[in-house]
Amino acid sequence: TAHQKFDIVIIGGAMMGSAAAWFLSHHPQFDGRILVIERDPSYAFCSTSHTHSCLRQQYSSPLNIKIAQFAVDMVRRFKHHMNDPAAPDIALDSFGYMYLAKTEAFADQLRRNQQLQASLGAGTTILSADEIARAYPFYHLDDIILGSHNPHDEGYFDGAAIFDWWRRAAVQKGVTYRHDTVVGIDHDRRRVKAVRLASGDIVAAGVVINAAGPRGAEVAAMAGFALPVEPRRRFSFMFSAQTPLEQELP
């Protein structure tokens, strides 16, 4: 059994784990050793490979709205934030999101959300059913009261390009990526001491970051606490229209 020590151990090396590795390795006040442990270096089955890579600002929490706005700025000015001319330019296709309310309760919620979002600089507007019909005459709106729509800084971006850049740039800064699986965590009920790997190795850690995505609850359980995260199946549908529409949809 090999014993190693790292200042930071990140469990999960996809988008969130690689983001943490990049930000830490490029922080001017951090010079520690970082290990990223990834169970599937092909990333074929991780959430990062199956996400639609979409951004929206229509949340009911100020923190979530601000996180989304930070992400928008990161995407739009990716090369600037990376401070590297070799970094890719990332486009954001701002088709926007639209939420439709068919009950007064949800309509009131959308109105409250819009006021909060607007106060934080988001471009969300409330549209009546008639206004939606004028913009999108092919929608069936008989049971719709109103909608909230933000066509600014909401839409699709190339998440795969950002993930690939963060991962490679972190490695160039000395971050170690290891193909292995965490099977146990040593702790004293107050802090984590080490992680145990399927290979039999034990890695001492100053800090452990749980970036295991939908498996985050399994990792948390190894450390002795419950995390309310669970994987759920989601579906995406692609279809061809007999008569293609002449405009983009939110």
User: Each residue of 152-188: pLDDT tens digit?
Assistant: 999 999 999 999 999 999 999 999 999 999 999 999 8
Residue 169 falls within a domain, yes or no? Answer: no
User: Residue 168 falls within a domain, yes or no?
Assistant: no
Q: Please report whether residue 29 resides in a domain.
A: yes
pLDDT in tens, 23-48: 999 999 999 999 999 999 999 888 88
Q: Which residue has the higher pLDDT, 186 or 246?
A: 186
Do 202 and 114 belong together in one domain?
no
Query: Do 105 and 146 share a structural domain?
Result: yes
- Residues 71, 148, single domain; the answer is yes
102 and 197 housed in the same domain: no
Task: Give 46's Cβ-side CA count (13 Å radius).
Answer: 21
- Give the per-residue pLDDT at 2: 60
**Under DSSP, is residue 27 helix (H, G, I), strand (E, B) or coil?**
coil
Residue 171 located in a structural domain = no
Which of these three, 96, 123, 157, is where a domain ends? 157
pTM of the complete model beyond 0.75: yes
Instruction: State yes or no: pLDDT of 1 exceeds 80.
Output: no
Which range has the worst mean pLDDT, 85-89, 197-201, 202-206, 232-236?
Answer: 232-236
Give yes or no for residue 83 having a pLDDT over 60: yes
CATH number at 250 reads 3.50.50.60
In a domain, 167, yes or no: no
Residue 166 maps to a domain: no
Boundary of a domain, candidates 95, 122, 157: 157
Question: What DSSP line would sit under 28-52, residue for residue?
Answer: TT----EEEEES-TT-SSSHHHH--
> Based on the domain organization, do 58 and 34 belong to the same domain?
no
Q: Are residues 61 and 48 in the same domain?
A: no
Distances (CA, A) of 126 to 40, 49, 85, 170: 44, 34, 40, 42
Q: 44 and 26 share a domain?
A: yes
* Average per-residue pLDDT for the chain: 94
Q: What is the pLDDT of residue 245?
A: 87
Across the beta sheet with 3-11, what order do the strands follow? 176-179, 34-38, 3-11, 202-210, 192-197, 182-187
Residue 189 banded pLDDT, cuts 50, 70, 90? confident
Q: Cα–Cα distance between 76 and 179 in angstroms, integer? A: 32
As a whole number, mean pLDDT of residues 106-127 equals 98
pLDDT value for 3: 67
pLDDT at 63 over 90: yes
Q: How many domains does the chain have?
A: 2
Question: Is pLDDT above 70 for 236?
Answer: yes
pLDDT of residue 51: 87
* Residue 49: pLDDT over 90: no
97 and 24 in a common domain: no
For residues 60 and 93, membership in a common domain is answered with yes
Structural domain containing residue 133: 54-157
Residue 165 lies in a domain: no
Cβ atoms of residues 12 and 212 within 8 Å: yes
Instruction: Indicate whether 82 pLDDT > 70.
Output: yes
Provide the sign of the torsion angle of the four alpha carbons 11, 16, 20, 21, taken in this order. Answer: positive
Residue 164, in any domain of the structure? no
Query: Left, alpha or beta for 155 (phi > 0: left; psi -120 to 50: alpha)?
Result: left
Do 41 and 90 lie in a common domain? no
